[in-house]
Amino acid sequence: MLTISGLKEGIVLDHIQAGKAMKIYKYLGLDELDHQIAIIKNAPSKKMGRKDIIKIDGALDLDLDVLGYIDHNITVNIIRDDVIVEKKTLKLPKKITNVIRCKNPRCITSIEQELPNIFVLADEKDKTYRCLYCEEKYGQTGH
Amino acid sequence: MRHVISPLDFTVEELDQLLDLANDIEHHREKYAHACDGKILATLFYEPSTRTRLSFESAMLRMGGKVLGFSSASSSSAAKGESVSDTLRMISCYADICAMRHPKEGAALVGSMAASIPVINAGDGGHQHPTQTLTDMLTIRSLKGRLDNMTIGLCGDLKFGRTVHSLINAMVRYPGIRFVLISPKELRIPDYTRENVLEANGIPYEEVTSLDEAMPKLDILYMTRVQRERFFNEEEYIRMKDCYILDKAKMALGKEDMLVLHPLPRVNEISVEVDSDPRAAYFRQVQFGVYVRMALILTLLGIQVQ
């Protein structure tokens, strides 16, 4: 396995479904950070066979809510002084912006390209979201 | 500052106050003749409309205010590609309040996010049409004397009929309301109305295809037109357009004190012979539409008339 040194302080996103790391990199806006970031693709995993890992050095105050929507099985480890001080449990975010697009051809987002695609959690149990503008349903399975 | 995007933007108490004000306007029109002197209403209609636009304009003119606006997207900057947000930012400099109709769902919400004046949703695609709902509620309350404990039949295009969605949203907040949803299978209410509104509030409802069988149960029959402009496929429209026609024979199956409402325009779905039936309330509904819009404009502008 490829070796990347541990973090002194930062966040490790572990157990990312293999191949999804770049998507998460984009959704979390990591491309806009100046911090050192390591993306490990297809790392061997006992639990998953293969997995992706993202290590973010030095950043502790990231908004990770969107991960709850993308994949709640991702493990979020907060590292301080070389040790894991917190394992975050991911919840479904109340609102997600520009992660999914509204597919309703009658929605205002279909003609106003600059509008952010905002979906609001409608049913936590069924993991369904609805478009803020037209209320079109978007189920988790569609992702 | 507040906007009216959905009928749920008002609480039941606020709705009662608004309808009380509309009734006061109905009986004391002279008192309100100059209530909006110096105020301007913008009517932004990206989609053709006769009744709603003229009703808004009549409401403002009857209170001494002035109106400006456009009545189709082709005569506005939308034809040049201007966004709804930009248009609303601009119109906020020209008017004190705005009524907006747009063929796309959610357009009024987008407009309200950009505007610095109150925005009234005058219809956003097949989604919501709250001022028609206020009109319907004023009609029902004025002619029936109540908004609770009744069976409401909604007939026709329940899928794209925004007036239907808005009316259901508003009426589920009153006790003892039951719905009979009469439509072809293809034009049933959208799942967000069924799941988030009817089922979430435990409202009794049935979905049927026969108008004849439903008639004897109804206190209100709300007819709707199958709207050509909502179909992407002309053949499908032609197949559906005459699925329900209310005529004298069907009216004979209804209760004596049932009311027939229709947001208008009607095409074939209500036979002209029904117009003379005392239970036909759709033209009185049009008059109530002006009173309720007058009340709404006053409320959103914060104008109180003593």
Cα separation of B115 and B224, whole Å? 32
Looking at CATH, the fold of the domain delimited by B7-129+288-301 is given as: Rossmann fold (3.40.50)
Q: Quick one: pLDDT at residue B202?
A: 96
Q: What is the dotted CATH code of the domain comprising B130-285? A: 3.40.50.1370
Q: Quick one: pLDDT at residue A140?
A: 56
Residues 6+ apart with CB under 8 A from B199: none
Please say whether the dihedral angle defined by the alpha carbons of residues A39, A45, A51 and A57, taken in this order, is positive or negative. negative
The answer, for A110 touching chain B at a CB cutoff of 8 Å, is yes
User: Cβ contacts (< 8 Å) between B123 and chain A: which residues?
Assistant: none
Q: Quick one: pLDDT at residue A142?
A: 42
Q: Quick one: pLDDT at residue B192?
A: 83
**Extents of the domains making up chain B:** 7-129+288-301, 130-285
The residue assigned the tokens 């990199």 is A25
How many percent of chain B have pLDDT more than 90?
77
Q: How many CB atoms are located within 10 Å of the residue B123 CB?
A: 28
Beta strands B119-124; B66-70: pairing state: unpaired
Query: How far B83 CA sits from the closest chain A CA (Å)?
Result: 6
Complex-level ipTM? 0.82
What is the residue-wise DSSP string for B30-54?
A: GGGTTTTTT-EEEEEESS--SHHHH
The residue assigned the tokens 């100059």 is B34
| Nearest by CB: A108 against B84, B192, B232 | B84
CA-to-CA separations, A72 to A35, A61, A97, A121, in angstroms, rounded: 24, 19, 17, 15
Coil, helix or strand at residue B200: coil
Looking at CATH, the fold of the domain delimited by A10-88 is given as: Alpha-Beta Plaits (3.30.70)
Q: Which of B113, B177, B167 is closest to B147 using CA atoms? A: B177
The answer, for A117 touching chain B at a CB cutoff of 8 Å, is no
Beta strands B220-223; B205-208: pairing state: unpaired
Element (DSSP H or E) covering residue B52: helix B51-61
Mean pLDDT of B54-65: 98
Q: Quick one: pLDDT at residue B291?
A: 98
Does B7-129+288-301 match B130-285 in CATH topology? Answer: yes
- Which of the residues of B are catalytic? 51-52, 80, 101, 129
What's the pTM? 0.83
pLDDT, tens digit (0-9, with 9 covering 90-100), for B208-259: 999 999 999 999 999 998 877 666 677 777 777 777 999 999 999 999 999 9
Q: Which of B136, B129, B176, B183 is closest to B19 using CA atoms? A: B136
Cα separation of A125 and B93, whole Å? 45
CATH of region A95-142, choose from 2.30.30.280, 2.30.30.20, 3.40.50.1000, 3.30.70.1290: 2.30.30.20
Low-confidence ranges of chain A (pLDDT < 50): 141-143
pLDDT, tens digit (0-9, with 9 covering 90-100), for B70-103: 988 777 767 677 899 999 999 999 999 999 999 9
**Extents of the domains making up chain A:** 10-88, 95-142
Residue A18: alpha-carbon gap to chain centroid: 13
What is the residue-wise DSSP string for B220-276?
A: EEEE----GGG-S-HHHHHHHTTS--B-HHHHTTS-TT-EEE--S--SSSB-GGGTT
Q: Is a pLDDT exceeding 80 seen at residue B49?
A: yes
Q: Quick one: pLDDT at residue A3?
A: 67
Coil, helix or strand at residue B185: helix
Cα separation of B221 and B295, whole Å? 26
Q: What is the Cα Rg of chain A in Å? A: 17
Q: Which amino acid is at B122?
A: A
Q: Quick one: pLDDT at residue A143?
A: 39
